[in-house]
A and B are shown apart, each in its own frame.
Chain A
Amino acid sequence: MSSSPLIRTLDLEKTYVTETIETPALRGVSVELHTGEFTAVAGPSGSGKSTLLHLLGGLDRPTSGEIYLEDQPMSGLSKDQLSRLRLTSIGFVFQAYNLIPVLTVLENTAFVLELQGVVRGERMKRAKKILGELGIEQYADQYPHRISGGEQQRVAVARAVVSEPSIVLADEPTANLDTATSLDLIDLMRRLNAEKGATFFFATHDTRLLDRVNRLITLVDGRIAEDQTQTATS
């Protein structure tokens, strides 16, 4: 990739400190992510996948090192500035508890747009459109507890991309799904990557999904053990 990276990390370290124990989660991670990539970060439990995603998403701060989003360093940003950054530039899909239970699927999808201050008519239009594109428009008026886990994750993906962020970060989005549903979800993300140019960076420890990405970063003990570009298979 020759273009300027969307995200660049430099010697990223994160150590969790409790009263008596220091647990290093990331030990000097330097990585570049480019616009349009469909990247997975894999590795065993405790390898630092989620920590890396949280740092990239501005949900946590590194112990040392720097993160640049579109060449802007994130370390100097206040909590409110980080919130603003998350709102405007980053889409999130979490492992579980992704949706607000008292809002319908449509309202959940439009929620980020509401936070951005998009007027109601416009945000509903955009939310309906993305639900339609993801094939879940029939659930628009349902509450999250009325639909399956796989459908809930689809709604989460819809919400993550509806505002067209610079990057979508997904933390083990298939962890609670069965194999078929997991593959469906990853394929859905791939479709959005291909059709809409959405950049995805997701963590997974599910080896069945790894051949579906263009780039695979493997973390072991908080360090990048492997960073390989590959041809995705369907």
Chain B
Amino acid sequence: MKAAIRHMMRNRRRTILTLLAVLIPIYFLIVMFGFINSMVQDMFESSTRFDTGHMQIRAEETRATGSALPLMNDPADALAALDSIEGIEWSTVRLDLPALASVGDRTRTVFVRGVVPEEIDPISNMADRIVEGEFLTSTSPGVLVGEELAELLDLGLGDDMVLLGAHPEAGLGAIRAPIVGIFSAPEATIGRTFVYASLDTARQLARNDTAATAIVIRVDGVVGPQDAALMERKAEALRAVLPPGFEVQDWLELLPVMDGYMQILTPMLLIMAIVFFGLGALVVVNTLYLSVMERTREIGLIIALGASRLRVMGMVLAEAGIITVAGAFYGALVGVGIILIVEAFGGIPLWGQMAAYMREIGIPPVLHISITAPQVLLSAGAMAIVAMLAAWMPAWRASKLEPMEAMRYVE
């Protein structure tokens, strides 16, 4: 070990190069992990908070309802079942209805989302998104529209909108509702198509006093997609207690786009890891191979004196091991350090087209980086293993040297 350290000190430049070959891939991977984690988490949080929750109880679809969700005539039994499940952070009843919105001679197809305004906060930041007017109350007969719809229908605060319910399982209700607020939607599509109303108002439109289309649920302790197992456990528990006629949809069913992203990101990360690790391994092989070549006579002498092949391999691997451990440690330190510094400054703000795109898909235009301890350990551990495997070849070559040939070796 002492000899290995002295060899490393004697060839500082090569040692530093090998160290960097281990350190840089780990650092890159940790930072990449950090960016991707954060992006996925932002998307997850944005989608689950604004729209879907972590899971939903819905009515089983017994006949085709087109783009409309099947109607629950009375969610009371499902709510009672939900009460028996522990670890539910929050839930609320929602009624989504396809409808025609008519103002003057203009008519558009919209979705009326009936919510309990006092309960919506934990899942949606709608109240903060009001740019004109005010948020709903349970007793408010008015509705909220997005900036885009307001522009399309030339609507202003206080204007009346006629809504005609068009749910295939509900009665054909019609209401006239004043615009009490205009909101800024996280996505333009939402702004064009969603009309927010109190649950009572929406039920009037469905001509059904107890109707709902979903019970939206948030699970305690869920931070991101990495908690999929926890969400699935809760979904399973809920399925077991729900009365017939109801079903549970988990986050993957509710967020198919997210699932798609996840399916792309995992192999993408894997490919990046393979490229980074591969390049690192090449440098490790190269530098250790050079080291063995330069020390051919010395290794020959050591074998001649009676060192076993295993011992010789151990010497080369010890050198690789020291560099690998140091590289993994410092790589992780630098990677995590960068993340902490970036986050201490509140992330990296985006600008221009990228910022606009992020807003469009519902993600704040700030690039955050977050990493978990297992991901740091995985990055550092995997690179360390790759580096040690790469060191195996030069070590094996060293152990196979014939002592007299090696001692005659001239560089």
Complex-state Cα separation, A63 to B213, whole angstroms: 91
Complex-state Cα separation, A140 to B2, whole angstroms: 16
Is A115's beta carbon under 8 Å from chain B?
A: yes
Interface string of B1-35 (1 = CB under 8 A from A): 01100110010000000000000000000000000
Q: Is the CB of B404 within 8 A of A87?
A: no
Q: Is the CB of B407 within 8 A of A97?
A: yes
Is B203's beta carbon under 8 Å from chain A?
A: no
Q: Is the CB of B403 within 8 A of A59?
A: yes
**Which of B298, B305, B309, B404 interacts with A54 by CB under 8 Å?**
B404
Q: Is the CB of B306 within 8 A of A83?
A: yes
Bin chain B's interface residue count. Answer: 20 to 34
Q: Is the CB of A83 within 8 A of B3?
A: no
**Which of B2, B7, B306, B309 interacts with A115 by CB under 8 Å?**
B306
Is A21's beta carbon under 8 Å from chain B?
A: no
| Dominant secondary structure of chain A at its interface with chain B | helix
Q: Quick one: given A100-B3, A101-B298, A103-B3, are A115 and B311 in contact (CB under 8 Å)?
A: yes
Q: Is the CB of B298 within 8 A of A87?
A: no
Q: Quick one: given A98-B301, A100-B301, are A84 and B308 in contact (CB under 8 Å)?
A: yes
B303 contacts which chain A residues (CB < 8 A)?
Answer: 83
Is A112's beta carbon under 8 Å from chain B?
A: yes
Complex-state Cα separation, A54 to B403, whole angstroms: 10
Name the distance in Å between B323's Cβ and chain A's nearest Cβ. Answer: 16
Complex-state Cα separation, A90 to B305, whole angstroms: 8
Name the distance in Å between B246's Cβ and chain A's nearest Cβ. Answer: 72
Is A129's beta carbon under 8 Å from chain B?
A: no
Q: Is the CB of A97 within 8 A of B297?
A: yes
Is B230's beta carbon under 8 Å from chain A?
A: no
Complex-state Cα separation, A182 to B263, whole angstroms: 75
| Dominant secondary structure of chain B at its interface with chain A | helix
Complex-state Cα separation, A115 to B304, whole angstroms: 12
Is B307's beta carbon under 8 Å from chain A?
A: yes
Is B302's beta carbon under 8 Å from chain A?
A: yes
**Which of B2, B10, B308, B407 interacts with A83 by CB under 8 Å?**
B308
A86 contacts which chain B residues (CB < 8 A)?
Answer: 304-306
**Which of A60, A88, A98, A102 interacts with B3 by CB under 8 Å?**
A102
The interface centre, meaning the residue of A83, A87, A112 with most chain B CB atoms within 10 A of its CB, is A83
Name the distance in Å between A67's Cβ and chain B's nearest Cβ. Answer: 16
Is A111's beta carbon under 8 Å from chain B?
A: yes
Name the distance in Å between A165's Cβ and chain B's nearest Cβ. Answer: 10
Name the distance in Å between A123's Cβ and chain B's nearest Cβ. Answer: 13
B2 contacts which chain A residues (CB < 8 A)?
Answer: 103, 107
B404 contacts which chain A residues (CB < 8 A)?
Answer: 54, 59-60
Name the distance in Å between B396's Cβ and chain A's nearest Cβ. Answer: 14
Name the distance in Å between B331's Cβ and chain A's nearest Cβ. Answer: 27
Name the distance in Å between A45's Cβ and chain B's nearest Cβ. Answer: 15
Which residues from chain B sit less than 8 Å from chain A, CB to CB?
2-3, 6-7, 10, 297-298, 301-309, 311, 403-404, 407
> Closest 6 CB pairs between A and B?
A87-B306, A102-B6, A86-B306, A97-B297, A59-B404, A83-B308
Return 11 A-B CB contacts under 8 Å, by A number: A57-B304, A59-B304, A80-B308, A80-B309, A83-B306, A83-B309, A87-B306, A100-B298, A101-B10, A111-B305, A115-B306
